[in-house]
Structures are given as C-alpha cells and as structure tokens.
Amino acid sequence: MIVLWRVTTRCNLSCAFCAFDRRLPYARTAADPVAIRRVLDVLADYQLTHRDPVLVSWLGGEPLLLTELPELAAHATGRGLHISATTNGTSLGSSVVRRHLLDHYSELTISLDSPDEAHDAIRCSPGLFKSLRVHVAALVKERLASSRPLKLRVNTVLLRSTIERFPELAREVADWGAEELTFNLLGGRDRPEYFPDNRPLPAQVSRFTEQISDLRAEFASRGLVIAGGESYLNRLMSAVHDIHRPVPDCGPGRRFLFIDEMGFVSPCSFTSGTLGLPVTELRSADDVASLSTRFSLARCARRPVVCDDCPSTQVFDKFSHHAA
C-alpha cells in the first residue's frame, strides 16, 4: 500500500505550473502533527496484521518545510513503516537534513525540470540547478559511505520548452547517481492560464514516445531506470490530443491512498472532495483494510466527474519498469 500524504500547502518556490506556487494568494495550511502520528500508528498496525507493506510518501507544497516532519518520519520508521518524499531539493544543502533522509527514508524524489539553469527560470529560483547538482552529489557520496538504502528518483514535468531536452536531462540525472527517472506531462487543471502556451505539442509527445525505448536501453546500462508503462505513454498521447480517458474501476483504495492536509483520506488527490473521509474514522487496521470497499461503494453511488478523464498518474503505471 502506498499512502501519499500532502502534509502542507506551503511552498518556498514560485513554479508557474503548480497549484502551490508561493505567489498564489490563499491561506496555507498544514496537517496536524498529532493526527499524523496517530494515523501512522494505525498504518503500522495495518501493515503488521494484514501483511501489506506500507510506504508513506510525503507531498506538498514543499513537505520538507514542515518542522515536525523529521520527528514524524523517525516515529514511522520506528514502527516499521517505509518513508518517501517528493521535494524541490532546496533543503538538501543541510548536512543534518541529508543525514536524516539517509537514516529514515527509503526513497526520495527530487523535482528537476531542465538539465541546466532553465530549471531556475521555470521555478523562479536563481542558483537552484547548481545547488541541486552539488547537494545531490553530497547525498550520493554520504549514501555510499553509510551504505544506507535510500533510492533516489528524479521527477520531471514535460513542458513544450523542455520535452525535447529529455535525453540531456536523463544524462544529467544518470550523472547525479539517481536510480530512477519519472515524468509528468504538464497538467492544466491547477494553472489554466499557464497551460495553453506551455503544454507540449502532439508532435513533440509523439517523438518522445518513439524515442523512449532507445533511451531506456541506453540509460539502463548506466544504472538509471526510465519508468512509465505502456498505458502511461498511451495516457500522454490521449492527453496531448485532449482525448478523455475514463476509468471504469481503478480499484479505489486498494493499492493507493491519498491524505490531504485537512485530514481527509481518499483514493487519489483528485477525489478528496467527492470521496474523502475524515482520517478520524481510521481507528484500527481493519478500518484501513475496509477503505477499498467503502470507496468502491461510494464511487458507485456518486461517481466523481474527474473519473471520466482520470488525471491520476499512478492509475496509468507511471512507476512501472520495463526490461530494457
């Protein structure tokens, strides 16, 4: 079971494609650390009694800004859970943060949108690319010295200005020593004003999908997996042609859960409002196990409109690996 947990909507960067851009004038919220700790305990009980390994993956905003997160991650690993996070990497300059990640995390996903300073322009953060390069190198060196099993993944957003530079990006990521590269096609729900001029063109996405097997083979020999199953590539092609992809049944709550900063648990981030249940209803391991039945019934009774064009990347095999 993978539990994606948006612990804060606060962010320190200004990415024009993102819903959590710090320039957006809305009140930011963070999850209640006491509630997080309690649900972590329930998830640990679920993992033990249902023999289903649980990976808790922190999201944001920028999750590593939450001051209570190190204590919560240590608590989670103490209870046998695995921990992951997706970060913009701005806190990786701290040796204390790197040590904590090495000691407690199984995975870390770092966002990188371009293999050079164009990343800084996209994220409105001068010097970010160079600092990531230096600080990820430090993390990889410390990982080697400590023999810690932290898996490093880079996630990139494919934009019209960056998609053709994906092979260069893969080279950069392989040089960093990351094990996996994943990609999102720019989505337009969060920032509709940015989308029309920055979404990749159909011909660019076609070329991207044609080249990807060769790239996979090239980078597999360098220890870098470029993830994404066949259905994910098909999803990219339909999205770029504005073809809707309804999902009749994603098995809601069976393999993935999403918890938002307000304390609602749902099958994915797009169904918090329609199918979300308060995490206060998760009091035992069996409550976690019964979520899939509850979500299936609720989804039949009132199918979320969003399921008629499912934007949830995990439903389409974003993370699956191919034999090169």
Ligand X SMILES: C[S@@+](CC[C@H](N)C(=O)[O-])C[C@H]1O[C@@H](n2cnc3c(N)ncnc32)[C@H](O)[C@@H]1O
User: Which residues contact ligand X (rule: CB under 6 A)?
Assistant: 11, 17-18, 20, 59-60, 62, 86-88, 111, 155, 157, 184, 186-187, 190
Q: What angle do CA 299, 301, 307 make, to 5 degrees?
A: 35
- By beta-carbon proximity to ligand X, the closer residue of 18 and 215 is 18
What minimum distance in Å lies between the beta carbon of 238 and ligand X?
A: 16
What minimum distance in Å lies between the beta carbon of 88 and ligand X?
A: 4
- By beta-carbon proximity to ligand X, the closer residue of 114 and 155 is 155
φ, ψ for residue 72 (rounded to 5)? -70, -40
Q: What angle do CA 182, 288, 283 make, to 5 degrees?
A: 130
- By beta-carbon proximity to ligand X, the closer residue of 20 and 270 is 20
H/E run at residue 181: strand 180-185
What minimum distance in Å lies between the beta carbon of 280 and ligand X?
A: 25
3-state secondary structure 124-141: CCCCHHHHHHHHHHHHHH
- By beta-carbon proximity to ligand X, the closer residue of 100 and 318 is 318
Partners of residue 266 on adjacent β-strands: 258
63, 85, 129, 194 from 159: Cα distances, Å: 24, 23, 17, 11
What minimum distance in Å lies between the beta carbon of 67 and ligand X?
A: 16
Longest dimension (CA), the chain: 54
What minimum distance in Å lies between the beta carbon of 237 and ligand X?
A: 16
- By beta-carbon proximity to ligand X, the closer residue of 86 and 271 is 86
What's the token pair of residue 21?
Answer: 């851009």
Could you identify the residue written with the tokens 């320039």? 23
- By beta-carbon proximity to ligand X, the closer residue of 111 and 114 is 111
Decide: residue 273, CB within 10 A, 0-12 exposed, 13-18 middle, 19+ buried.
exposed
What minimum distance in Å lies between the beta carbon of 62 and ligand X?
A: 4
What minimum distance in Å lies between the beta carbon of 193 and ligand X?
A: 12
- By beta-carbon proximity to ligand X, the closer residue of 89 and 253 is 89
What does DSSP say about strands 2-6 and 256-259: parallel, antiparallel, or unpaired?
parallel
Residue 70: other Cβ atoms inside 10 A: 16
